[in-house]
Structure 1
Amino acid sequence: MAVALAPVRIGFVLQEDVVFPHLTVKETLTYAALLRLPQTLTKQQKEERAMNVISELGLERCQDTVIGGEYVRGVSGGERKRVCIGNEILLNPSLLFLDEPTSGLDSTTALRIVQMLRDIAYAGRTVVTTIHQPSSRLFDRFDKLILLGRGNCLYFGKASEAMLYFSSIGYSPLIAMNPAEFLIDLATGNGNDKSRPSALADKASSFESNSSQGPSPMDIHRVRKIERRLQAFYLVKACETKVVRLEKRKQLEPVKIDDRWKTHGVANSREWGASWWQQYRILFWRGLKERRHDHLSCIRVTQVMATAIIIGLLWWHSESSSPKKLEDQAGLLFFISVFWGFFPVFTAIFTFPQEREMLAKERSVGMYRLSAYFVARNTSDLSLDLALPILFVVIVYFMVGLRQDFAVFLRSMLTVFLSITASQGLGLAIGAALMDVKKATTLASLVVMTFMLAGGFFVQLCSRLMQKVPSFISWIRYLSFNYHTYRLLLKIQYSCGASAAAGGDSALHAPCKSAFIRGLRLGDGGTEVAAMVAMIVVYRLLAYLSLRRMKLRSAT
Structure 2
Amino acid sequence: MIIAKDLFTLGDEYFTMPRREKYEIAPATAPENRLEGSAAHLNNVATAHRYRPAELVFRGIGVFFGGKQILRDVSGMVRPGEVLGVMGPSGSGKTTLLNALSGRLKTDSGLITLNGETLSKQLRRKICYVTQQDIFFPDLTLRQTLTYSALLRLPDYISYREKMEYVDHILDVLDLGRCQDTVIGDMMKRGLSGGEKKRANIASELLTNPTTMLLDEPTSGLDSSTAFSLMSTLKEYAEKENKTVIITVHQPSSQIFYMFDRLLLLCSGQMAYFGDTSQVVDFFSSVGLQITPHYNPADFIMEQLKKDSKTQEKIITAALEARNLEFQQMLCLPSEDDETVCSHSSALDFQSCDKQPWEHLRNCELVKHDLESTEPSSHSTSTPYIWNIPPSSKHDQTRPVEVIIDQDKKLRTIYQKIAVHQDDNDSGRSSWSGVVSSTFSSQDDLEEEEKWPTSFWTQLKVLTQRNFLEAKSRMLSKLNWIQTLGLGLLCGLIWFQVQRTEPTLWDIRGWMFFSMTYWMLFALFGALISFPPEREVINKERASGAYRLSAYYLAKMIGELPLTLTLPTVFHFISYPMLGIYSSQTFLCLWGFLILNTIVAQSVGLFIGASCTDLQVSVTISALYSLSTMLFGGYYSSSIPPWLQWLQYLSIVHYAYQNMQIVEFSGGPPIRCASTNSQFEVCRSGSSVFIPIEDIINQQGQAFPLWANTFILVIFLAVFRIMGYLVLRFIRKPK
TM over 0.5: yes
1:4 aligns with 2:45: no
Report Cα offsets for 1:319-378 as digits up to 9, x if no partner: 21x211122221111111211222111111134422222222111121111111111112
In the TM superposition, residue 438 of structure 1 has moved relative to its aligned partner by: 1.1
Partner of 2:634: 456
1:111 shift after superposition = 0.8
User: What residue is the counterpart of 2:641 in the other structure?
Assistant: 469
> How many residues are treated as equivalent by the alignment?
499
Determine the C-alpha separation between the residues in 1 that align with 2:324 and 2:264.
11
Is structure 2 residue 532 aligned with structure 1 residue 353? yes
Aligned partner letter, 1:158: D
Structure 1 residue aligned with 2:491, among 300, 304, 311? 311
Residue 493, structure 1, aligned to residue 661, structure 2: no
Alpha-carbon distance in 2 for matches of 1:498, 1:347: 37
Counterpart residue number, 1:281? 461
Describe the superposition over 1:185-243 as per-residue Cα deviations: whole angstroms up to 9, x where unpaired.
Answer: 11111xxxxxxxxxxxxxxxxxxxxxxxxxxxxxxxxxxxxxx3332222222223346
TM-score by length of 1: 0.84
Mapping of 1:203-242 within 5 angstroms? 228-242=308-322
Q: Give the TM-score, by structure 2 length.
A: 0.64
Distance 1:129 1:499, change over 3 A: closer
> Could you tell me which residue of structure 2 aligns to residue 65 of structure 1?
182
Superposition pairs of residues 369-380 of structure 1, within 5 angstroms: 369-380=548-559
CA pair 114-281 structure 1, distance change in 2 beyond 3 A: same
2:81 aligns with none
Distance 1:90 1:244, change over 3 A: farther
After superposition, give the CA deviation of every residue in 1:130-164 in whole Å (9 maximum; x if it has no partner). 10111222223222211221222222222223223
Verify the 8 A CA contact 2:610 2:732 in the aligned structure 1: no
1:438 corresponds, among 616, 623, 627, to 616
Could you say which residue in structure 2 is the equivalent of 1:23? 140
- Partners of 2:129 and 2:248 lie apart in 1 by 12
C-alpha change, 1:231 and 1:518, in structure 2 (3 Å) is closer
Report the Cα offset of residue 105 of structure 1: 1.0
> Structure 1: which 5+ residue stretches go unaligned?
190-227, 501-508
CA distance in structure 2 between the aligned counterparts of 1:497 and 1:131, rounded to whole angstroms: 72
How far apart are the structure 2 equivalents of 1:17 and 1:492? Answer: 51
Cα offset, 1:480, TM superposition? 1.3
Q: Secondary structure at the match of 1:549?
A: helix
Aligned residue for 2:547? Answer: 368
Contact 2:51 2:211 in 1 (8 A): no
Q: For 2:734 and 2:197, how far apart are their aligned partners in 1?
A: 26
Q: Which residue of 1 aligns with 2:29?
A: none
Which residue, 31, 36, 39 being the options, matches 2:156?
A: 39
| Distance apart, 1:283 and its partner CA | 0.5
Matched residue of 1:91: which SS?
coil
Please give the alpha-carbon distance, in whole angstroms, between the structure 2 residues aligned to 1:234 and 1:339: 68
- Given candidates 431, 450, 475, the residue that maps to 1:295 is 475
1:511 touches 1:517 (CA, 8 Å); kept in 2?
A: no
- Superposition pairs for residues 46-57 of structure 1, below 5 Å? 46-57=163-174
Which residue type is aligned with residue 50 of structure 2? A
The alpha-carbon distance between structure 1 residues 118 and 369, as it changes in their structure 2 partners (threshold 3 A), is same
Which residue of the partner structure matches residue 139 of structure 1?
A: 257
> What is the match of residue 481 of structure 1?
652
Q: CA RMSD in A?
A: 2.8
Helix, strand or coil: the match of 1:98?
strand
- The 8 Å contact of residues 26 and 51 in structure 1, kept in 2 or not, is answered as no
Of 367-376 and 268-277, the range deviating more from structure 2: 268-277
Alignment partners' CA distance in 1, 2:698 and 2:312 = 87
Structure 2: distance between partners of 1:343 and 1:29: 32
Aligned partners of 1:151 and 1:95: how far apart in 2? 23
- Residue 167 of structure 2 contacts residue 207 of structure 2 at CA under 8 Å; is this kept in 1? yes
Query: Hey, what does 2:508 align to over in structure 1?
Result: 329
1:529 aligns to 2:701 (yes or no): no
Q: Report the secondary structure of 2:503's partner residue.
A: helix
SS at match of 2:256: helix
Whether the 8 Å contact between 1:166 and 1:172 is mirrored in structure 2 is: yes
SS at match of 1:543: helix
Q: Which residue of 1 aligns with 2:604?
A: 426
SS at match of 1:15: coil
Report the 3-state secondary structure (helix = DSSP H, G, I; strand = E; otherwise coil) of the residue aligned with 2:139. Answer: coil
Give the Cα separation in 2 of the matches to 1:166 and 1:513.
92
The 1:65–1:384 alpha-carbon spacing in structure 2 relative to 1, beyond 3 Å, is: same
Asked whether 1:408 is paired with 2:586, we answer yes
Point out the structure with the larger helix share.
1
Tell me the CA shift for residue 36 of structure 1. Answer: 1.3
Aligned position for 1:538? 719
The amino acid across from 2:521 in the alignment is F
Paired residue secondary structure (2:316):
helix
- d(CA) in 2 for partners of 1:250, 1:531: 67
Asked if the contact 2:147–2:164 (Cα under 8 Å) also holds between the matched residues in 1, the reply is yes
Q: Does 1:77 align with 2:194?
A: yes
In structure 2, how many angstroms separate the alpha carbons of the residues matched to 1:426 and 1:354?
A: 18
Deviation at 1:40, TM superposition (A): 3.0
Distance 2:292 2:161 in 1: 60
Q: Secondary structure at the match of 1:172?
A: coil
1:398 aligned to 2:577? yes
Where does 1:140-289 land on structure 2 (aligned, <5 Å)?
140-174=258-292, 177-189=295-307, 228-242=308-322, 245-251=325-331, 252-254=342-344, 255-256=347-348, 258=350, 269-289=449-469
Counterpart Cα distance in 1 of 2:704 and 2:315: 85
Which segments of 5 or more consecutive residues in structure 2 lack a partner in the other structure? 1-43, 55-122, 332-341, 352-433, 672-688
Please give the alpha-carbon distance, in whole angstroms, between the structure 1 residues aligned to 2:348 and 2:289. Answer: 38
1:342 maps to 2:513: no
- CA–CA distance in 1 between the matches of 2:282 and 2:497? 90
Residue 219 of structure 1: aligned partner: none
Q: What percent of counterpart residues are identical? A: 33
